[in-house]
Structure 1
Amino acid sequence: MRFFKAAAWVAFGVSTCVAAQTAEQSTEQLKEQLKQQASQQGNNPLDLPADVKEKMRQAMEGKGEYNIPTGNDGLSHLSDEEREFYQSRMEDVQKNMNKLREKGLLKPFEKETVDSKTKKYEDVAQQIGDHSVSQLEKALQEHVGVSEQDASTFAGSSAPESRQNEPVEYAMFLSFSMTKESIRKAILTAKENGAEVYFNGLHPSHRRIDQTMNLMREIGKGIEDPPIVRFNPTAFEKFAVNKAPTILYREDERHLIASGITSLSWLKSEFDHHEQSENYGELGPTTEVVEKNLIEELKERMANVDWKEERKKTLDSFWERQTYTRLPRAEKTESWVIDPTIEAVKDVRTPRGELVVKAGTVMNPLVNQSVGLTLVVFNAGDIKQLEWVSNKLKTLDVSGTLMLMTSEINEEKGWKHIEALYEHFAMPVYKLPETMVNRFQISALPAVVSTDLEKAVLKVKQFSIDEEKS
């Protein structure tokens, strides 16, 4: 059921939240600007202004203020001599235009050419709008505390297709100032008429989006195949809606709107009787739209965030949120060799489709390598291991690049611990990834992993600190 499954019924899509402003208003404005730009960019070196090009195009079709008469009606007021002269000149003009058309010099002014260029820019504008929606999804997750799934739903990436950007829009504006029963009845009416349902923002008593979502699930419980229900503060602002319920029927730029009733079918039937948009006003009982505009509310919240403090909290809690591969101290010294040869189980290609590695290819990443690598792995929280590494580095035969890796960091000291390690070893100390532990079969610490480029193998050795001392 679209209305409730996995938070997806409220396709509440803030594809109409902050993104609504981008994907509807900004994108439409951009389209209009690009249309004008496209109409001004021809292949003709003269690069005539758009209005002149349009007049020329109309004249070629026998239209507009500079159209070329096809008969003698326009010459009836002239003398025979004048008529003959102008008729001759017009025939010459027509011949010259035909020659220009044959050479393709008039093609930049033709309607099809202008439309094709405009379409290209419209596609770009739509991509910008879509990109804005995806950015909204990320912003909702990071700054408004919305889960990844809900953010995806609100941003419209997992929501059903909305009609608000289509030529025909059929919708009902509701508010939580209405009773739950009246909201439910309105939603059922919208379902029966194939209309969408818009809300301006969160319930006035809610601070989190999931609270409003839960309320809507409660109201809509049991409704099968519900209509699309969205936050759409942009539509509330565009049509100046401040009463609920309000119904809307729009075709392109012409629309009808009425408040206090839910008879969507009546409003649609009235549309053909009006040549211009019309607001019928309040035709029945209404309530005030009490929700804050969701876009403005999000802006206020973002403006009130102390970003320096948030950054500090994030940095301070970074190490507390890390996971570690905790390994015991080695009880005995032992070593082994690992052959890093691998076989490609499928073709590996570049984003362009170029084949890099064919399936079945056997390869060893150490073959033909000229610079080796030595990894010293230890637990930086163990004082004895720290002492052992400090002494070992004085005599260690380093093959190529040297890297230090720790299995653990003191969570309370965090960055100070990292800073202290850097000052002690005069080089960075990295966190040991679990994948490396598994790949090198490390079971205890400290350990040294080094490359043997001559044999194209990895050498791993775990050290018992007590055995080293004895």
Structure 2
Amino acid sequence: MTRAARLALLVAACSAVPASAKDYGQQGATFPVIEVDLLRVIEARLRAAQASGRIAAMQQDMQRKADLRVRRPLPVAGITVARQRRAWTFDPSITVQQDITDGRGRLIIAKGTRVNPLNTVPMRTSLVFIDGDDPAQVRWAVGSTTALNAKVILVNGAPLALMDSTQRRLYFDQGGKLTGKFGITHVPAVVEPAGKVLKVTELPVPSSRGAGA
């Protein structure tokens, strides 16, 4: 049999064998595809936390911290005791950012107009800022003002306890918004009306201690 005949016979034999895929077996670890319901996982964990008492403990801790912040708010940062008298004026005027109209669309104040609130709402009481942890400042503020002519505002201290002991309504400068607005960095400080502007005065009080001491 010639070489060409043998090659043709081999090709025919291979064509007669049915093709099949070979199974090479498992080559590594396999895992089933499972879609986890996240809400169910969270719910299960919450139930477990509730059963163990952890949620109740967290709620009590949050309530305790909230009560503490009400009784003693965070002190205004950067405020120290006044060692010398310093005074300046503050202009409360603002520039209107957009037209102000009435209910019928009629223009009341045009955009860009500078408006001084004291022209329409005069300030009738002074604002007195003090450190509520300084007994000398507290005595001075309560003794030199009345509830009718001044509002006493703390930058530090426990307002509820002081209201009980002084029998005066007190306020707290939360986040230092007022002292920051007026530029106050030392207490005691007084803000009082002076015509169309406000007069701001930082003044020392005898025997007052340094803030934070």
What is the DSSP-based 3-state SS (H/G/I as helix, E as strand, rest coil) of the residue aligned with 1:199? coil
Give the deviation of 1:449 after TM superposition: 0.9
Deviations 1:119-156 (A, max 9, x none): xxxxxxxxxxxxxxxxxxxxxxxxxxxxxxxxxxxxxx
Give the deviation of 1:446 after TM superposition: 0.4
Give the deviation of 1:370 after TM superposition: 4.9
Residues 298-377 of structure 1: matches in 2 within 5 Å? 298-302=46-50, 304=53, 305-306=55-56, 309-318=60-69, 322=74, 324-344=76-96, 346-347=97-98, 358-370=110-122, 372-377=124-129
What is the DSSP-based 3-state SS (H/G/I as helix, E as strand, rest coil) of the residue aligned with 2:192? strand
TM-score, normalised with respect to structure 1: 0.31
Give the deviation of 1:375 after TM superposition: 0.8
Instruction: Give, in whole Å, the separation in 1 of the partners of 2:109 and 2:30.
Output: 63
- 2:140–2:205 Cα contact (<8 Å) kept: yes
Residues 408-447 of structure 1: matches in 2 within 5 Å? 408-409=156-157, 417-432=158-173, 433-447=175-189
What is the DSSP-based 3-state SS (H/G/I as helix, E as strand, rest coil) of the residue aligned with 1:360? coil
Please list every run of at least 4 consecutive aligned residues from structure 1 whose deviation after the TM superposition is greater than 4 angstroms. Answer: 354-358
| RMSD, matched Cα | 3.7
The percentage of counterpart residues that share the same residue type is: 19
Asked whether 1:449 is paired with 2:191, we answer yes
2:136 to 380, 384, 387: 384
Q: Which has the larger radius of gyration?
A: 2
1:456 aligned partner, one-letter code: K
Give the deviation of 1:300 after TM superposition: 4.9
Deviations 1:191-248 (A, max 9, x none): xxxxxx7313xxxxxxxxxxxxxxxxxxxxxxxxxxxxxx253xxxxxxxxxxxxxxx
Compared with structure 1, are the counterparts of its residues 429 and 182 closer, same or farther at alpha carbon in structure 2 (3 Å cutoff)?
Answer: farther
2:198 aligned partner, one-letter code: L
Residues 26-425 of structure 1: matches in 2 within 5 Å? 182=31, 186=33, 198-200=35-37, 231-233=38-40, 293-302=41-50, 304=53, 305-306=55-56, 309-318=60-69, 322=74, 324-344=76-96, 346-347=97-98, 358-370=110-122, 372-393=124-145, 398=149, 402-409=150-157, 417-425=158-166
- 1:326–1:407 Cα contact (<8 Å) kept: no
Higher strand proportion: 2
Compared with structure 1, are the counterparts of its residues 301 and 361 closer, same or farther at alpha carbon in structure 2 (3 Å cutoff)?
Answer: farther
Give the deviation of 1:365 after TM superposition: 1.3
Compared with structure 1, are the counterparts of its residues 425 and 323 closer, same or farther at alpha carbon in structure 2 (3 Å cutoff)?
Answer: closer
Q: Which residue of 1 aligns with 2:3?
A: none
What is the DSSP-based 3-state SS (H/G/I as helix, E as strand, rest coil) of the residue aligned with 1:436? helix
Instruction: Give, in whole Å, the separation in 2 of the partners of 1:368 and 1:406.
Output: 28
Higher helix proportion: 1
What is the DSSP-based 3-state SS (H/G/I as helix, E as strand, rest coil) of the residue aligned with 1:464? coil
Q: Which residue of 2 aligns with 1:464?
A: 204
Instruction: Give, in whole Å, the separation in 2 of the partners of 1:316 and 1:375.
Output: 26
Q: Which runs of 5+ in 1 are unaligned?
A: 1-179, 187-196, 201-230, 234-292, 410-416
What is the DSSP-based 3-state SS (H/G/I as helix, E as strand, rest coil) of the residue aligned with 2:187? coil
Give the deviation of 1:437 after TM superposition: 1.5
What is the DSSP-based 3-state SS (H/G/I as helix, E as strand, rest coil) of the residue aligned with 1:405? strand
Give the deviation of 1:302 after TM superposition: 4.8
2:31 aligned partner, one-letter code: S
Deviations 1:276-302 (A, max 9, x none): xxxxxxxxxxxxxxxxx4324324535
- 1:347–1:356 Cα contact (<8 Å) kept: no
Give the deviation of 1:371 after TM superposition: 5.5
